[in-house]
Amino acid sequence: MTFEGLAAFGYELGLLKRVRRSGWWHAGVRDPESVGEHSLRAAQLAALLAAEEGASPERAAFLALWHDTQETRTGDLPLTAVDYLRKPEPRAITADQTDGLPARSKDLVRAAVDEYETRESAEARCAKDADKLEMLLQALEYRDAGVRRVDEWIESARKGLTTETAKRIAEAALTLSPLAWRDR
């Protein structure tokens, strides 16, 4: 077992607190959320979606926690880069990231990323929907703060949703103020 490998990976994961979601700069957001901030709410939403969809909330949240960890190596690539860059394969990046980990930890992370990417389980579909739903909520929050060019993010998120629960939450979010939680 290599505790140094676990410590090094722990430091690498800390980069997610500093890597910004770069697509928001195109919308005019001066200080966009970090990948870590995005991943936290995505994991929380994944648990809620899974609970409503009859899947494992714990597993869905776990998958969502790992869904963007590759961005410690690539940064957050905006959609505008797709025509110019080959999209990195998340499983390959995860394999490199986890190469120095003990076998159990390595297998745990690699299996989570593989399950998320294949979207064959209900939990993976809930985690992916949570990723999209989190983006939609963030876009609505930025719009409420005065950022005007967020409609394409909202529409992209809505089109990407697959679970009935996520679709219904998105529709509800579009009718509420981002501060509606205070009135509940």
Q: Which residues of 77-112 are buried (b: 16+ CB within 10 A; e: fewer)?
A: eeeeeeeeeeeeebeebbeebbeebeeebbeebbeb
pTM of the model: 0.94
- The predicted-structure confidence for 50-88, as pLDDT tens digits, reads as follows 999 999 999 999 999 999 999 999 999 888 887 888 878
| CA 177 vs CA 74, 96, 117, 121, 153: distances in Å | 34, 42, 32, 33, 17
* Distance (Å, whole) CA 11 – CA 103: 19
- The predicted-structure confidence for 140-159, as pLDDT tens digits, reads as follows 999 999 999 999 999 999 99
